[in-house]
Structure 1
Amino acid sequence: MSLDASARWRTGARAALAALLAVVPASALGAPRFGDFPVPAIHHGATARPLLADAHSRNYATRLHHAAAGKADFAGRYVLATWGCGASCTMSAAIDAKTGVVTWLPFTVCCWDADVDAPLEYTPDSRLLIVHGARNEQGGGTHYYQFDGKRFAEIPTP
C-alpha cells in the first residue's frame, strides 16, 4: 500500500469510527442516562382517575388515587405512585395521566445503600427508571429499566 493510500485509509477509518461512536447510545458505553431515553412531550393537564382494572390495583386504590392528584412526573405522561411496604421497602406503579391505566413495577425495592437518597430515580422527560437496591428482596445494586407505556424492561449494563 502506498503512503497516500495508507493515509487515506487511516483518515477513512477514523471517520468511520467517529460516525459509529456518534450513533452508539451512551448506555452502550456505560450506565444509561436519562437523556438516552427522551419522551416526545410532557403531559401538563390534569391526571385521569386511576383505572382499578385488577385486584392488585383495587387493593391499593387509596394510594393510587392519592398519587393521581399530582402531575405527570415520569416518562412524559405518567405519575409514578410510590409508597412504603415495610421497613426500607417501597412498591410502585405508573399511572397514565391521560387514560388512568395503571402499570405496576413488577417488584418491590428494598435494602438500598445508606448513601442513596431515593430507591427510585426518574424524571418527567425520560422513560428511564433507575432502581437502587434489592428487587423482591433478591440481590442488590443499581438496575436500569426502560418504560414503554406497558412494561418496565430491564436494560442490561456491563
Structure 2
Amino acid sequence: MAQPYCLATVSAAMAALLATVPASAGAAPRFEDFPVSAVHRGATARPLLADAQSRNYATQLRHAAAGKADFAGRYVLATWGCGASCTMSAAIDAKTGAVSWLPFTVCCRDADVDAPLDYKLTSRLLIVHGARNEQGGGTHYYQFDGKRFAEIPTP
C-alpha cells in the first residue's frame, strides 16, 4: 500500500522545483538583458532632416546632437517638452545622423517617477513611464534595433 505524502516532504519538493525556475522569468526587462556590442565615444554627426517630422523639429534635434551618445551604444536620445507634462523623443545616430522617432508622445507619469524615459548608453532597452499618446498609463518596455522601437511584451 502506498504511503501518504507528508506535507513537509511535498513542501520541500516544491521548494526544490521552484529553485530551478530562473529568477527573471516573468520579471520586467532589465538594461543588462539588452547589451550593446560597442560604444561610440566620438562627436555626434549632424542630424539628417530626411523627413517632414525631422525638419519640423530641426532645432531640438540639432541641440541634442551637440551632446555625446547616451543611448544604445551610439545614439543620442533627444527629448523635449510638447505641452503640459508631455515629452517627444527621437534617437539620433551619432555616427550617421539618421533620426529614428519614438512613435508616440509620453505624458502623465506617476508622481514618484523622476523622468518619463529611462535609458543607458550600454543598453538597447528604453523604459517608458506614463501614457503613450495620452492613452493608458503604466510602465512600458521597448527594444531599439537601430531604426525602430519595438515593444517588449510583459506579463
List aligned pairs for 1:15-94, cutoff 5 A.
21=22, 26=24, 28-94=25-91
CA-to-aligned-CA distance 1:8-55 (integer Å, 9 cap, x gap)? xxxxxx8xx95x84xx9x3x4300000000001110000000000001
In the alignment, the residues of structure 2 paired with residue 117 and residue 144 of structure 1 have an alpha-carbon distance, to the nearest angstrom, of: 16
Q: Secondary structure at the match of 1:29?
A: coil
User: Contact 2:73 / 2:123 at 8 angstroms: preserved in 1?
Assistant: yes
Q: Which runs of 5+ in 1 are unaligned?
A: 1-13
Structure 1: 4+ residue segments shifted above 3 A: none
- Given candidates 116, 129, 132, the residue that maps to 2:129 is 132
- The percentage of aligned residue pairs carrying the same residue is 83
> How many angstroms apart in 2 are the aligned matches of 1:29 and 1:55?
40
Kept in 1, the 8 Å contact 2:26–2:154? The answer is no
Question: Which SS does the other structure have where 2:59 is aligned?
Answer: helix
In 1: Cα distance, 2:145 partner to 2:102 partner: 12
Hey, what's the Cα distance between the residues in 1 that align with 2:146 and 2:52? Answer: 20
Q: Count the aligned residue pairs.
A: 138
Q: Deviations over 1:52-91 (max 9, x none)?
A: 0001000000000000000000000000000000000000
> For the residues of structure 1 that align with 2:42 and 2:125, how far apart are their CA atoms?
22
Structure having the higher helix fraction is 1
Question: Separation in 2 of the partners of 1:105 and 1:55?
Answer: 15
Letter of the 2:64 partner, please give it.
Answer: A
**TM-score, with length taken from structure 1:** 0.84
- TM-score of the pair, normalised by structure 2: 0.85
Q: Report the AA paired with residue 126 of structure 1.
A: S
Structure 2 residue runs without a partner (length 5+) = 1-15
Amino acid at match of 1:90: T
Cα distance in 2, alignment partners of residues 29 and 87 from structure 1:
34
